Amino acid sequence: MMLEQLETLHQQAKQAIEGVTDSAALSEWEGQYLGKKGSLTTFLRGVGQLPKEERAVFGQRANVVKDDLTAAYESRATLIKEQMLARDLEEGEIDVTLPGRPVASGKLHPANQTLRQIYAIWADMGFQVFRTREVEDDETNFELLNIPQHHPARDMWDTFHTTAPGIILRTHTSPGQIHAMRRYAPGPLRVILPGMCYRYEQISARKEIQFNQVEGIAVGTNIRLTDLKGTMTAFLQRMFGADRRVRFRGSYFPFTEPSMEVDVECILCNGTGCAVCKYTGWLEILGSGMIHPTVLRNGGYDPTIYSGFAFGMGPERIAMLQHAITDIRYFWGNDTRFLEQF
């Protein structure tokens, strides 16, 4: 009896789908026969009422009917879709002469925007870009920069080591000083050394394990500390404004002597004091100093004849100060809500 009812239901469903001509009617047909509360689904739940010897035959036939109705539904859905497309084209609802949707153009990353601004200023001041490798050897990254093994200054750089002995990811762009000096010694030299650096640090709002740096050096026969101070002041006033005050503070770097930190008057509060400058009115921008005689000698210059200065800055930090960005992780998060602001 149930098998006859199944056949009747099968024929009714097949006849009904032949009259379906739009998506709404097809969706209604599916709910009526194949849905969770459809006729076929409800009917199949009664299989347990059959005698055991009839269940196998009924189950096989029920699967065939379900597959047939499912195929009929998919076939009818494809036909309706094609008919709708043909009707839209015939009725002119789609104007193929209209221009397509514009493709969104990419923009420079905020870190690259700051880098290009820095490049342009230093190029105007006579410095060329000199690129060096990111995978360095320990000797160039530390020892030739007056940081021997077991020197406490190494604690300033948390280093990524590789499986190859003595091969590391550079912790700063300063090893580029050695490469540049050995390329141009004994001639005069003025270059900036931009690139990515890596340090094994805890990621926070102010620290990342990878970041850009821009190093710079100038070597000649008559370069003095006053040249360094004048050059740094000229750069910072072009970067942050001609009226911006600049100050120098004594510091320590193993590869320069004397060494100085360079601050600029806070660009957000104009020196009156705010949370960004910690209410001091000053922002630390870069480190600098006269190149240590040992480093000059390792680079191929005679320190009794030649002298020079070096400096280094973080473009992401400068961008954070310029735009009041509070978290350095935004630069690497690839969040379009942040990037589209620039």
- Token match 């500390």: residue? 225
Whether 178 and 281 share a structural domain: yes
The answer to whether position 294 is within a domain reads yes
Please tell me the distance from the alpha carbon of residue 145 to that of residue 291, in angstroms, as a whole number: 10
The answer to whether residues 268 and 141 belong to one domain is yes
Q: How confident is the model at residue 86 (pLDDT cuts 50, 70, 90)?
A: confident
Structural domain of 182:
110-339
Quick one: 160 and 288 in the same domain?
yes
Same-domain pairing of 86 and 115: no
pLDDT for residue 312 is more than 80: yes
Maximum C-alpha span of the chain: 112
One domain for residues 63 and 132? no
Q: How many CB atoms lie within 10 A of CB 250?
A: 9
Q: Last residue of some domain: 30, 60, 91? A: 91
Peptide bond before 258: cis, by omega within 30 degrees of 0? yes
Q: Give which of 27, 71, 66 is closest to 44, Cα–Cα.
A: 66
Q: For residue 307, what is the DSSP state?
A: E
Per-residue pLDDT at 48 exceeds 70: no
Q: Residue 87: pLDDT above 90? A: no
Return the C-alpha torsion angle 43, 45, 48, 53, nearest 10: 50
Q: Quick one: what percent of the chain has pLDDT higher than 70? A: 96
**Domain boundary at 91, 126, 153, which?**
91
Report pLDDT for 94. Answer: 63
44 and 125 in a single domain? The answer is no
pLDDT the model gives residue 188: 95
pLDDT single digits (tens) 191-201: 999 999 999 88
- What average pLDDT does the segment 176-186 reach? 95
Looking at the fold, whether 117 and 73 belong to one and the same domain comes out as: no
Q: Is 161 part of any domain? A: yes
Q: Which token pair is 263?
A: 């601050």
**Does 326 map to a domain?**
yes
Higher pLDDT, 3 or 244: 244
Whether 99 is in a domain gets the answer no
Whether 112 shows a pLDDT value over 80: the answer reads yes
Query: Does 25 share its domain with 155?
Result: no
Do 164 and 15 lie in a common domain? no
| Angle made by CA atoms 338, 340, 342, in degrees to the nearest 5 | 90
Enumerate long-range contacts of 54-61, CB under 8 Å, 24 or more apart: 54/3, 57/3, 58/2, 58/3, 58/6, 61/3, 61/6
The model's pTM is 0.67
Length of the chain: 342
- 29 lies in the same domain as 139: no
Q: Is position 103 within any domain?
A: no
Number of domains in the chain: 2
Give the integer Cα–Cα distance in Å for 314 and 306: 28
Look at residue 46 and tell me if it is in a domain.
yes
Q: What mean pLDDT is predicted for residues 28-40?
A: 78
Instruction: Provide the edge-to-edge strand list for the sheet that holds 128-129.
Output: 128-129, 189-198, 210-220, 307-313, 282-291, 256-265, 246-253
| Whether residue 128 is found in the same domain as residue 241 | yes
Tell me if 105 is assigned to some domain: no
At 93 the pLDDT is: 59
In a domain, 44, yes or no: yes
Q: How confident is the model at residue 250 (pLDDT cuts 50, 70, 90)?
A: very high
Same domain, 304 and 193: yes
Provide the CATH number for the domain around residue 173. 3.30.930.10
pLDDT band at 92 (very low <50, low <70, confident <90, very high): low
d(CA 191, CA 179): 11
Measured CA to CA, the distance from residue 257 to residue 241 in angstroms comes to 29
Domain boundary among 91, 121, 145: 91
